[in-house]
């Protein structure tokens, strides 16, 4: 294949992210400096975000048979990069700075090397960019592994905390099992269709029919992707990994990682008509209903905020499956809107946990009782968390309401009444536990021991970013038109 300037322009977001990884790596090798590593990472991610604009001008363009850069890919690239940028900012606040007290050096910050966390996060983001552009099973697998492998290290990064190490090992083992299912499914699909390209697989299977081997292959691929999206019954790792992982890593796992996987699932589902067979719709319907009900019911029982958000994310991806099963009409648009609003609200919720936590006190500040009376100590964090909880519950005038409204509209258009019934029931259950968190913030209890992180300059950047996220969640709830126009342009490329 002959590479032209257009191909390099289309690949700019990925190339800039890769260049940032190399620059950060060389900077760490030259001299360890937490602030410098953070600044380089933020600059690189901002440049990668800006480079999406020239990439859009040459889209749609096929860059090798593996990648297709079109409006759809550019939209989800922007979502992944924005989520990574927010997580990098939270990481800087979380890892803190070492300070020197009167008695010598004190460990007011992460006790180990901080800089590698940024490197791992950038590597994972590069995997996400490959994944959302993939139009070939090889591209899908390369992107998925590049996305997943750095996360193993990130989850276990707080090595002195046994929960973090346990979460890292659990995620690695189960993720490897998911990848094995995915590879086996790809092999079966290739054996039957003779191609690894999404479009050619679809064409060949329409021409020659769908055999039992193909159905098993698609089923196994679905299991592999469902592991990554933590859909029921492949969700068992989620609450433990969310609880054990450092708060910014849990934020990355809940947002950038899942968005990239869901985007490639949507592209596969849309481009290969054979994957949208009747039996697969029935299977996805069962998984969606189970994810919505199990996720919300188990979240009711949680007294740990990170576990609660973990179970809640299972339910949210159950809601997204409603639009995926609908697949026509408003579905692609609904998924785009819902993922954007979900990323925004999850970043805000995990951001508050991050700014409350310190990585040198043994564990994160994630027990619900530690948030009692937060309003009286940190009113701005209370305001942010309140908006995020209301948005996750889908209360009107928040971004979450717009996302849920679009998913319901796609379900009504496709007449998926059972799924809509589960969605309404799940949302009703969710309102209870989200409001319980909100009420806790305003309670007052004297003489309760606090686990709050001390204020530092890194937290100021994180705090400003969180206030921006909260305002954006409110703004999109009141005036969603800019987001809807973006999603409509992105959706055209897939339909």
* Average of per-residue pLDDT across 119-144: 92
Asked whether residue 276 carries a pLDDT value surpassing 60, the answer given is: no
| Full domain range(s) for residue 317 | 5-98+110-491
CA–CA distance, 244 with 144 (Å, rounded to integer):
22
> Which whole-number Å values give the CA distances from 273 to 198, 206, 434, in the listed order?
10, 8, 38
| 105 found inside a domain | no
| 103 found inside a domain | no
* Average of per-residue pLDDT across 150-164: 87
- Say if residues 17 and 126 touch (Cβ distance below 8 Å): yes
| 144 found inside a domain | yes
Segment 58-72, tens digit of pLDDT = 878 888 888 888 888
* Average of per-residue pLDDT across 101-123: 70
Asked whether residue 103 carries a pLDDT value surpassing 50, the answer given is: no
> Which whole-number Å values give the CA distances from 39 to 27, 30, 46, 92, 120, in the listed order?
11, 16, 11, 10, 15
- Say if residues 45 and 81 touch (Cβ distance below 8 Å): yes
Segment 386-428, tens digit of pLDDT = 999 999 998 888 888 998 998 999 888 888 888 899 999 999 9
- Say if residues 281 and 325 touch (Cβ distance below 8 Å): yes
- Say if residues 258 and 316 touch (Cβ distance below 8 Å): no
What pLDDT was estimated at residue 214? 81
Q: Which of 292-296, 306-310, 480-484 has the lowest average pLDDT?
A: 480-484
| 282 found inside a domain | yes
Asked whether residue 102 carries a pLDDT value surpassing 50, the answer given is: no
Helix (H) or strand (E) holding 68: strand 67-69
* Average of per-residue pLDDT across 170-181: 91
Q: How many domains does the chain have?
A: 1
Segment 432-481, tens digit of pLDDT = 999 998 998 888 765 555 555 555 545 677 788 888 888 988 898 888 88
Confidence of residue 495 (pLDDT cuts 50, 70, 90): very low
| 104 found inside a domain | no
């Amino acid at each position: 294949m002959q590479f032209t300037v257009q191909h390099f322009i289309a690949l700019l977001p990925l190339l800039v992210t890769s260049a940032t990884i190399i620059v950060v790596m060389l900077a760490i090798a030259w001299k360890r400096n937490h602030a410098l590593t953070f600044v380089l990472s933020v600059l690189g991610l901002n440049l990668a975000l800006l480079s999406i604009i020239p990439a859009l001008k040459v889209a749609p363009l096929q860059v090798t048979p593996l990648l297709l850069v079109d409006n759809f890919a550019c939209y989800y690239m922007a979502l992944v990069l924005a989520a990574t940028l927010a997580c990098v900012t939270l990481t800087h606040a979380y890892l803190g700075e070492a300070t020197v007290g009167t008695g010598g050096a004190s460990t007011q910050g992460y006790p180990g090397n901080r800089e590698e966390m940024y490197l791992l996060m950038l590597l994972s983001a590069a995997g996400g960019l490959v994944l959302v552009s993939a139009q070939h099973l090889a591209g899908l697998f390369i992107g998925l592994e590049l996305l997943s492998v750095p996360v193993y290290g990130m989850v276990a990064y707080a090595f002195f905390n046994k929960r973090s190490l346990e979460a890292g090992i659990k995620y690695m083992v189960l993720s490897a099992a998911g990848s094995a299912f995915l590879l086996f499914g790809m092999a079966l699909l290739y054996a039957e269709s003779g191609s690894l390209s999404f479009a050619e697989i679809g064409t060949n299977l329409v021409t020659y029919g769908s055999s039992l081997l193909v159905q098993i292959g698609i089923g196994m691929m679905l299991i592999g992707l469902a592991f990554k999206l933590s859909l029921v019954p492949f969700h068992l790792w989620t609450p433990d990994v969310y609880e054990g992982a450092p708060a910014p890593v849990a934020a990355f796992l809940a947002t950038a990682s899942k968005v990239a996987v869901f985007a490639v699932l949507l592209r596969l589902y849309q481009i290969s008509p054979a994957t949208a067979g009747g039996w697969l719709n029935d299977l996805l319907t069962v998984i969606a209903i189970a994810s919505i009900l199990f996720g919300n019911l188990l979240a009711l029982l949680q007294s740990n905020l990170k576990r609660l958000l973990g179970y809640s994310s299972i339910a949210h991806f159950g809601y997204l499956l409603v639009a995926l099963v609908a697949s026509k009409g408003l579905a692609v648009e609904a998924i785009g809107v819902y993922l954007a609003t979900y990323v925004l609200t999850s970043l805000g919720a995990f951001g508050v946990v991050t700014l409350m936590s310190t990585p040198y006190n043994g564990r994160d500040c994630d027990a619900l009782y530690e948030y009692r009376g937060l309003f009286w100590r940190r009113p701005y964090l209370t305001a942010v968390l309140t908006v995020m909880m209301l948005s996750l519950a889908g209360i009107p005038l928040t971004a979450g309401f717009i996302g849920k409204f679009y998913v319901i509209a796609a379900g009504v258009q496709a007449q998926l009444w059972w799924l809509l019934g589960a969605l309404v029931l799940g949302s009703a259950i969710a309102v209870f536990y989200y409001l319980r968190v909100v009420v806790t913030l305003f309670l007052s209890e004297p003489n309760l021991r606090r686990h709050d992180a001390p204020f530092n300059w890194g937290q100021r950047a994180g705090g400003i970013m969180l206030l921006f996220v909260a305002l954006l969640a409110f703004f999109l709830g009141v005036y969603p038109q800019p987001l809807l126009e973006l999603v409509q342009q992105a959706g055209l490329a897939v339909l």
